Structure 1
């Protein structure tokens, strides 16, 4: 906070109401006024700027500096990661590797309950980790439809499955971004990542059971129980270990790959009593050699290897102050303000993905650098608007933090006292429902959660993780997710129907997160 007081009216209720204007207006723009996200973000950036400067008395230089700092972080590292992740996916598709990869998954079993676990759950989670931003829902829903699932059914199943992976989409950005927000109490992204391991594993373990139940009831669960346990157990335990000891970056990369691989091996020795077919007939799957299948996965092996190296403490130490590569971190003051920013040229996660993409091109005959860089240009062209939106939202978050708006809101919500942790996930749920993004949600509301935690004496990292978990449950019904899902399966215009199909599961999962967070708040 760079102002003398977060209560310019000497009335906390009035000050907090004014501080809430950017958030309330943002929600109204997206719902009542039905504005596009980019326009809503830019309009609210302007309004927040004037509220911060004129009402909360943040000096002009600091106000401009806040927006510049947020914009820089929106481009680097966040935008950098987004572009690199989607670029690697496009390389995989255009090189033909992705078609082979898809066939290799679908060909493991003809039982469509098991195909749902492989594609709807495991592959969905992996794509969420590798690309995110609607890619997993779109691709996996189409894959399931090609295997005989009804369009809206496939969309619903993929949306529900995404509840197990949405917190760590696109190389862990939703959690990683909390480390850039200067949260109250010095909460880091690693703190939040570790705290998610108290809540998300319970949900992760349950969702594969729910998916099978939705297409074949209790009978289906009984007949496929060993396979479900392989997937649920492997994914849940592995992700919990990674989030606690390594951080968020690989939490949706290694666990789904490992779960998928172990299930494939397991199914060579075990078969369900009955082969479940939705339409009563098998779908023919093109066969590929083991060599081709292994090669088809290479972009994602490389992605995992490079990100693993980038997450190792000895590697990170190279870029710390006094480290051999510390010079690759460009730190600079923002003119006219007391703020500074930095750009990590090499240690940024985006660079790890960039190297995975370059190595994939070098080792793939069917694609060259000329075509690869055309894909990069296309990716930048496709994502510049979402990145500008992220920059605007980060600018809003910085203004709210430095001008004291976040502190005012935190003080106000903290007046609910010990009951606040019960309501904390709902704030995240609302944020994602309105913005369609756990990244945007955490950017807007994580500072409020952290401030409230400090005031009421609850671990701030717990409340930020609750904000994340609650937000993930809204991905099942956020207008952005619903629009992507219906468009992918050719059912545009049936958004209301799909929302109705997923709403009860979103509410039920949110209710669990609220109650569980409240219980945890009495411990931490």
Structure 2
């Protein structure tokens, strides 16, 4: 048995923490300063983590490599298994042109560009984040807005800022699932606390989007639809994440938010021509006035309805129990680790949910989608293979980062850093979201930031007397606000709207909003750590 040691360097916690932080420092420097591609930075960081675990912490090389392999497996299944199948569904809608039908359908809901921004960037963007994440909402929504006549810069900024509130539950709950896995905090607990933090952002973001689209006039004229949309989104995200399923939180929030928005009478009023002339400064897509048969419109919405239906069925207790029986649990080979107190860690046993995982359920929805959209079997298989090829670097990035996280967590490196950071005491609650924000800003992924810093946050919480669930959730909730300024997302937004090379322009426009909303989240978490808002926690 390998027993984790907290002070392997000269019996000094500070020096040990400095050495333990080397893998993280290497990754962050390579990504932020050197601008190295994420998958290469992740692999180099993994190599540094292995060396530190082996030489400094004395973890046997066999166990070190075994812990990294476990991280790779978790990165492939269930994490990227969800993303691949979700993007596969999207690719089939593009192949059959039903995505264009969906875009035209959104354009007909309202001719007010301010309402269109809420429907597409906030509500539909949240649905895309729920199904796929990893940059898809920013790319797709910004293209949609440009097609409606938005200026490319404004379209990109709106899509980036909108991609905040749903991120923690994106890709069928992948960030919170990862957070639970690396921290040992039950998924239900993590999702419950995150579901009491990010909905507060959802109350504000629609109003921010209206301001970005049309300034004070927009807020004066359309604050009511924006507020109703935000409240409905927040209420649904809170209720579903706390009482139903983390995987369904964003899907429900997106659908309820959109329905509430369209239900507001003022949201359906035609926009005044001066508003349209001031806001829609780009070139409007020529096919927006094309009429689509009702049957094809229904088929365009069908993939998303199928996913909601299948996930809802999977939450029925008898069905859920049946699927759970297909979960494989086994002792992970070549791994026998105990924490610094001599207690075996949970990673010694690995669970593999074959059916009861979001990726498998999305795969089933994808099979039905292919049938509904009329995609032939061979073509659907080719699209799945093309999706894997498109995501090859993302798969390598996620697996390398999770392998790094597992090596750091199981060797004791994360625990050492956590004990050292705990010296911040009560101030840790205010700083905790900043760590997640920084991780996402650099890595571009809330999942990666949770894998890197989740265990550290929990260790620090234990030592400082704060709630481990609160700080773990704060890492994810703060992280969502770093998404809009991450180099990856900025590059995706620029590429989508034809602004290649202008990432700096977008950064200057979104950075103030990212920092302001981060401050709000820091204050929320700090208040939740005290009696002021402590009543909000489960």
Q: Flag whether TM exceeds 0.5 (same fold).
A: yes
Q: 1:295 to 1:68 in 2, by over 3 A?
A: same
On the 8 A contact 2:86/2:132 being kept in 1, the answer is: yes
Which residue number corresponds to residue 479 of structure 1? Answer: 487
Q: What SS does the corresponding residue of 1:330 show, helix, strand or coil?
A: strand
Which residue number corresponds to residue 323 of structure 1? Answer: none
Which residue number corresponds to residue 110 of structure 1? Answer: 111
Which residue number corresponds to residue 330 of structure 1? Answer: 328
Q: 1:229 to 1:377 in 2, by over 3 A?
A: same
**Which residue of 315, 321, 338 corresponds with 1:317?**
321
Deviation of the 1:258 alpha carbon: 2.4
Alignment gaps of 5+ in structure 2? 337-347
Deviation of the 1:197 alpha carbon: 2.6
On the 8 A contact 2:110/2:268 being kept in 1, the answer is: no
Per-residue CA distance 1:193-221 (angstroms, 9 max, x = gap): 11123221221011111111222223222
Which residue number corresponds to residue 212 of structure 2? Answer: 214
On the 8 A contact 1:201/1:236 being kept in 2, the answer is: yes
Q: What SS does the corresponding residue of 2:352 show, helix, strand or coil?
A: strand
On the 8 A contact 1:107/1:287 being kept in 2, the answer is: no
Q: Distance in 2 between matches of 1:63 and 1:114?
A: 53
Q: What SS does the corresponding residue of 2:328 show, helix, strand or coil?
A: strand
Q: 1:297 to 1:505 in 2, by over 3 A?
A: same
Q: 1:270 to 1:157 in 2, by over 3 A?
A: closer
Q: Distance in 2 between matches of 1:199 and 1:342?
A: 29
Q: Distance in 1 between matches of 2:426 and 2:351?
A: 38
Q: Distance in 2 between matches of 1:234 and 1:272?
A: 23
Q: 1:192 to 1:477 in 2, by over 3 A?
A: same
TM-score in terms of structure 2 length: 0.92
Q: Distance in 2 between matches of 1:53 and 1:309?
A: 46
Q: Does 1:490 align with 2:490?
A: no
Deviation of the 1:254 alpha carbon: 1.7
Which residue number corresponds to residue 86 of structure 1? Answer: 87
Deviation of the 1:381 alpha carbon: 1.1
Which residue number corresponds to residue 357 of structure 2? Answer: 348
Q: Distance in 2 between matches of 1:116 and 1:157?
A: 7
Deviation of the 1:319 alpha carbon: 4.2
Which residue number corresponds to residue 403 of structure 2? Answer: 395
State the superposition RMSD in angstroms: 1.9
Q: Distance in 2 between matches of 1:466 and 1:64?
A: 30
On the 8 A contact 1:3/1:402 being kept in 2, the answer is: no
Q: Distance in 2 between matches of 1:4 and 1:484?
A: 41
Deviation of the 1:400 alpha carbon: 1.1
Q: Which moved more, 1:408-417 or 1:330-339?
A: 330-339
Deviation of the 1:335 alpha carbon: 2.9
TM-score in terms of structure 1 length: 0.94
Which residue number corresponds to residue 138 of structure 1? Answer: 139
Which residue number corresponds to residue 409 of structure 1? Answer: 417
On the 8 A contact 1:429/1:474 being kept in 2, the answer is: yes
On the 8 A contact 1:106/1:285 being kept in 2, the answer is: no
- Structure 1 residues 494-513: aligned runs within 5 Å: 494-513=502-521
Q: Does 1:360 align with 2:359?
A: no
Which residue number corresponds to residue 369 of structure 1? Answer: 377
Deviation of the 1:426 alpha carbon: 0.9
